[in-house]
Amino acid sequence: MIELRAHLTFRGECEAAFAFYAQCLGGEITLMLKYGDSPAATDVPPGWREKIVHATMTIGDTTLSGADVPPDHYRPPQGFYLLLNTDEAERIFNELADGGSVRMPLQKTFWSPAFGVVVDRFGVPWEVSSHQAI
């Protein structure tokens, strides 16, 4: 058996990002482990004991993982998008765009009745696609 999962890194905003994704995408946070509650607590910068060393969320049949990484290890996401296919494309796109940046407005394309590209307020890039027209 093989499972392929996305693991996102954040610059100290993992807990807020996962709370937002749970609300926006109807996900369920199944694990939220802080650095201070792990053996890694001695290796983090001052003030990082409350940051997240590992988080897991289920969204339908998909598992999304994430963590905060110390500032000297963080790199902004590049070279990929999280592709979300949903019947709620307009609502979800607008929520992801709030505080983020729209790269391509949600619109009809030759492959989808509604498709758009957005980078959310946490710096995570998304492609949102729908099987239904907006």
**pTM, two decimal places:** 0.91
**d(Cα 72, Cα 110) in Å, to the nearest integer?**
42
Average pLDDT of every residue of the chain? 93
pLDDT of residue 47: 84
Coil, strand or helix at 96: helix
**d(Cα 43, Cα 128) in Å, to the nearest integer?**
37
What's the number of domains the chain is made of?
A: 2
Where residue 24 sits, what CATH number does that domain have?
Answer: 3.30.720.100
18 and 44, same domain (yes or no): yes
Domain of residue 96 covers 82-130
Dump pLDDT digits (tens) for 96-109: 999 999 999 999 99
pLDDT band at 114 (very low <50, low <70, confident <90, very high): very high
The distance in angstroms from the start CA to the end CA of the chain is 37
Dump pLDDT digits (tens) for 45-82: 778 889 999 999 999 999 999 999 988 889 999 999 99
Instruction: Check pLDDT > 70 for residue 133.
Output: no
62 and 100, same domain (yes or no): no
13 and 50, same domain (yes or no): yes
10 and 62, same domain (yes or no): yes
Residues near 33 by beta carbon (within 8 Å), at least 6 away in sequence = 52, 53, 54, 55
1 lies in a domain? no
90 and 57, same domain (yes or no): no
